[in-house]
Chain A
Amino acid sequence: MDERERPKESRAVFLVREISCSTCGLAIEKQVKKLDGVKDVGTAVMLNKVFVDFDPSRVSLEEIRKAVHRTGYGAYLTLKKR
């Protein structure tokens, strides 16, 4: 989690449809991690949020959003930051 270790990364936060169990979270993590350029995916089951750390030079926000969406849980981008 050290900021210095990942200088060229962005984080996107998506709001998804109710993730009712952690296997749903695991499913999202598994699918989105397959994308090239995605470093890390975390889900907050209780908040229905998905956090994606990615390298913007290798993968676009829209590709990530689509990947989250494809898992069947919907995806609304709420925040993107460096």
Chain B
Amino acid sequence: MYVDETTATLKARVRGTTYYFCSETCLQQFVAPERALRLLKLSLAASAALAVPILLITYLPLFPQRLSNYILLVLDTPLQFIVGWRFYRGTWDSIRNRMGNMDVLIALGTTAAWAYSAAVTLFPGLAPSSGVYFDTSAVIITLILAGNYLEHVTKARASDAVRKLMDLQPTMARRLKDGVETEIPVEQVEVGDVLVVKPGERIPVDGVVSFGASTVDESAVTGESMPVDKVAGDKVIGATINRTGLLQVRADNVGQDTVLAQIVKLVEEAQIGRAPIQRLADRIATYFVPVVVSIAIVASLAWYFLGHIGLNFAVLVFVSCVVIACPCALGIATPAALLVGTSKGAQNGILIKGGEYLERAGKVNAVVFDKTGTLTTGKPSVTDVMPMEGYDADSITTLAGSVERSSEHPTAKAIVNESSKRGLPILETKDSEIVAGSGIEAEVGGRKVLLGNRKLLSGSSGLSALEEKLDGLESQGKTAVILSVDGHIAGIIGIADTLKPTAKDAVRAIKDLGIKVVMLTGDNAKVAESISDEVGIDRYVADVLPQGKEEAIESLQKEGLVVAMVGDGINDAPALAKADVGIAIGSGTDIAKEAGGIVLIKDDPKDVATAIRLSRSTLSKIRQNLFWAFAYNTVLIPIAAGALVPFFGIGVYNTLPFLAAAAMAVSSVTVVTNSLTLFRFKAGE
């Protein structure tokens, strides 16, 4: 958002930079987290400043016991209630929301220690010993605040990747209007505006090059490391860097519609959904606080009445139990790894739309490619024209081109292109009719013309003599289109779709992960086999009609396979939805509309393997996090409840509350830090 700083009245200074704001809400939104962090740092400092003298007075014989207790009461009370106010407020929220949280546990634990100590100080005859535990409350609060601060820092590092994406968006654009260039804030750019982009600058919004030529570095947005050549008519993506030449770009996506804005939105929204793997942890977290408080009460009462320990130790048992346990690590185990995993994906042009897709992608054991547009470029061209006797290449191309003129099929387009490349005329056609999955028939100049595959032409004379030629074409992976005029075969046109340069590597990379690769194609078995052999695919389903793709996927699923379907995100939407996880490839600029749980921005099938590897790594990181969070709680709660007493005596409770607080403080930090290691994931392996 651009705001003129000379007129702005709302401003905030953060770390030496002054920020200006458009509205009170914007300002609040910006400063609220900063203010919360500042308050946290201040609380931590105050807490530590009070805890140090409290510890010195507790453990060094500086004053007589009674005086010492009073001094400690004076020092610890503000720490407990002013610095520690946030825990009481959190407890109040928790009661109103009827949902336990860690504030309840800390407030209970520290209040118990403080209250016991205060009572002993004020009424010395109350307990057998005159020892107080103000230091326990002080150290717990300090450690928890330190833990919160560390958690804040690590969480900020985890969400940095998303913020960095947003920061790629340039703030200004140079608009060209009536021959005059003016600098305007990017928010004011409208669709259709022509923008001037100098070498070294970021392109402000998505658009089409209207003038000039250059190379553009798209790596920050698409993950494509090679700079891409751009000339007039080519699409450019906002926030990518213009490298070499001056470009004029006509804006066609602005604001929330740009590729970058859509990527940021997808990554953010991917964090919402609850991955199935997290549900158990969430359910446990819901009951965690009441259960832990019950354990703490039972353990301390049991030790007091059955174990015959002093009241002071009974209090410490309670404090240790409530403070050691933390549902936070459980709750953050999945979100932390998910955020790092999905951000890492976005950096490499792989958008995973949510935890559930990531989880399924990590379990995939079969990848289905819809051949056209994923393994091949999807732009077939005519390779062979074979006229029969009485015709020549131009005459059959003329007929074929005329018949296919208005068809949208890629094969038809290849023929029409060939016809116009040869500069051939287009003849008038009548009664044109498409025969689904076979071809087309029409009347041209009083002659009945059929154009299509064997099935359509089965009634024409001379077909059997062609088998050798047809086989020849098909064994090269070419589609043979046969033309007949008035029931006699007139010629064959061979059409081939070129394989993408990385198709072979892509298939190998997937197979290396132990995953089956299956190709779906509308071609017949011979063509399918030849292409499969060339790219190294061992299984194909040929003669698939567009509506048959879902069926093909269903039958693979019936074999017990977890299927990922790779296809075009718009035309293959039903098939992508049918698969366990749909992967839309090479989407261009309309990412948000794409079907499928995973969207690959680049037009590169190699990213399929990368997406699966990333999902697997993230999933295993989630499992590690959950394991540690569970293990931590299941091991430490019994210890807090007294499992160590038989070995070390009741004296362990003199230090256990401190260890408990330290463990609670670091538990979430460990989980987030463990997740951060996912940033080391390498895409190109």
Contacts and interface: CB of A to CB of B under 8 A. Distances in A.
A47 B162 CA distance: 9
A78 B29 CA distance: 7
A57 interface: no
Contacts of A81: 256
Nearest to B269: A51
Interface stretch (B282-290, B294-302, B454-462): B282-290
Q: Give the secondary structure class of B's interface.
A: helix
A78 B148 CA distance: 25
A43 B90 CA distance: 18
Given A22-B331, A81-B256, A43 B100 contact: no
Contacts of A48: 33
B351 to A, nearest CB: 14
A38 B330 CA distance: 28
Contacts of B331: 21-23, 25, 45
B102 A46 contact: no
Contacts of A31: 97
Contacts of B33: 15, 17-18, 48
B537 interface: no
Contact of A27 (B25, B93, B102): B93
Given A18-B36, A46-B336, A47-B159, A23 B285 contact: yes
A26 interface: yes
Interface stretch (B150-158, B635-643, B653-661): B150-158
A21 B327 contact: yes
B99 interface: yes
A71 B89 CA distance: 11
B228 interface: no
A27 to B, nearest CB: 4
A37 interface: no
B272 A22 contact: no
B102 A21 contact: yes
B97 A27 contact: yes
A30 B99 contact: yes
B314 interface: no
Contact of B97 (A45, A46, A72): A72
Most buried by A among B89, B97, B100, B328: B97
A77 B25 contact: yes
Interface residues of B, number: 49
Interface string B199-240: 000000000000000000000000000000000000000000
A50 to B, nearest CB: 9
B271 A23 contact: no
B332 A72 contact: no
Interface string B74-104: 0000000000000001101110111111100
Contacts of B338: 46
Given A15-B32, A77-B25, A23 B99 contact: yes
A45 B36 contact: no
A71 B97 contact: yes
Interface in A25-76: 25-28, 30-31, 42-49, 51, 70-74, 76
B32 A20 contact: no
A7 B671 CA distance: 39
A70 B32 CA distance: 17
Contacts of A51: 269, 272
B339 interface: yes
A49 B265 CA distance: 12
A70 B100 CA distance: 16
Interface string B127-152: 00000000000000000000010011
Contacts of A77: 25, 29
B625 interface: no
A21 B151 CA distance: 11
A27 B99 contact: yes
Contacts of A24: 99, 101
Nearest to A77: B25
A26 B93 CA distance: 13
A50 B272 CA distance: 8
A44 B90 CA distance: 19
A43 to B, nearest CB: 7
B273 interface: yes
Interface of A: 1, 15, 17-18, 20-28, 30-31, 42-49, 51, 70-74, 76-78, 81
15 contacts: A20-B101, A20-B148, A21-B285, A24-B101, A26-B282, A27-B99, A27-B101, A30-B99, A46-B335, A47-B339, A49-B271, A70-B96, A71-B96, A74-B32, A76-B29
Q: Which 3 A-B pairs have the closest CB atoms?
A: A22-B331, A72-B93, A42-B272
Given A22-B285, A47-B271, A71-B97, 4 more contacts: A18-B152, A22-B330, A30-B97, A70-B96
Interface of B: 25, 28-29, 32-33, 36, 89-90, 92-94, 96-102, 148, 151-152, 155, 158-159, 162, 256, 268-269, 271-273, 278, 281-282, 285-286, 288-289, 327-328, 330-332, 335-336, 338-339, 353, 668
